[in-house]
Amino acid sequence: MAKDHGAQIKDDALYEELRKQGQSKEKAARIANARANGSLQHRSSRLEERTRDDLYKEAQEIGIEGRSKMNKAQLAQAIRNHK
């Protein structure tokens, strides 16, 4: 059973799983809350199944440097490793 992290965390189980994977508290909270309210807009949960343009837009939103020179696999890896 997931620990109750208070009203600010909408999906405690997902939050804990993301923290175990090494995500920061802030990023885990944003993802858990977005999934709980249905606002995640990814067409696919696997990065490899998304287009390069989708990955590029996400990399741009989170501020990954050097993204314009990255291919699809590099963008997916950079997004996955972003903390």
- What pTM was estimated for this model as a whole? 0.48
Tokens of 19: 């923290």
The amino acid occupying position 32 is A
Report how far residue 49's alpha carbon sits from residue 60's, in angstroms, rounded to the nearest whole number: 18
Look at residues 48, 39, 83 and name the one whose alpha carbon lies nearest to residue 63.
83
Asked if 83 and 28 touch (Cβ cutoff 8 Å), the reply is no
**Is 2 a domain residue?**
no
Half-sphere exposure of 13 (CA within 13 A, CB side): 3
Looking at the fold, whether 12 and 35 belong to one and the same domain comes out as yes
Looking at the fold, whether 52 and 35 belong to one and the same domain comes out as no
Condensed to tens digits (0 to 9), the pLDDT of residues 46-77 reads: 888 889 999 999 899 888 999 999 999 999 99
Average pLDDT, the chain: 82
Looking at the fold, whether 57 and 74 belong to one and the same domain comes out as yes
SS3 of 8, please? coil
Q: How many domains is the chain partitioned into structurally?
A: 2
Which domain does 67 fall in, by range?
47-81
